[in-house]
Copies of this chain bind each other. A is one copy, B any other.
């Protein structure tokens, strides 16, 4: 795969940056040939991943750092990597189960949304070291028609 365009950004783990990050990734993704609905889905996915880093990874401590790297590959594939250096996840498989949450007040659907709106979801985490969420989606026309 050939990287056509790339941006990486680092920001403070503040709640107001969730909506900021979501808009920036959406604006970058808009370089791809995709619809408004696609963009809304990308926003949702980024919100879920970034809020997980802030809320779970950093227990809402605003002085930490979240990193997002976005690549456009081969004109039709979007890759988004969201990374934190927080508490990490003990059991990734369990964390990804629908409705599983370590916080009883939450719905536990973040990973489920990420999986359902993207073609690929890969989570790598080390307790005490942090979490990396890699999301990928292809926007080729053939792919789009398969969903139609």
Contacts and interface: CB of A to CB of B under 8 A. Distances in A.
A101 interface: no
Given A5-B16, A7-B17, A23-B24, 10 more contacts: A5-B12, A5-B14, A6-B12, A7-B9, A7-B12, A8-B9, A8-B11, A9-B9, A20-B27, A20-B28
A5 B31 contact: no
A33 interface: no
Interface of A: 5-12, 14, 16-17, 20, 23-24, 27-28, 31
- Number of chain copies forming the complex: 2
A35 B7 CA distance: 28
19 contacts: A5-B11, A5-B14, A5-B16, A6-B11, A6-B12, A7-B9, A7-B10, A7-B11, A8-B9, A8-B11, A9-B10, A9-B24, A16-B31, A20-B27, A20-B28, A23-B24, A23-B27, A24-B24, A24-B27
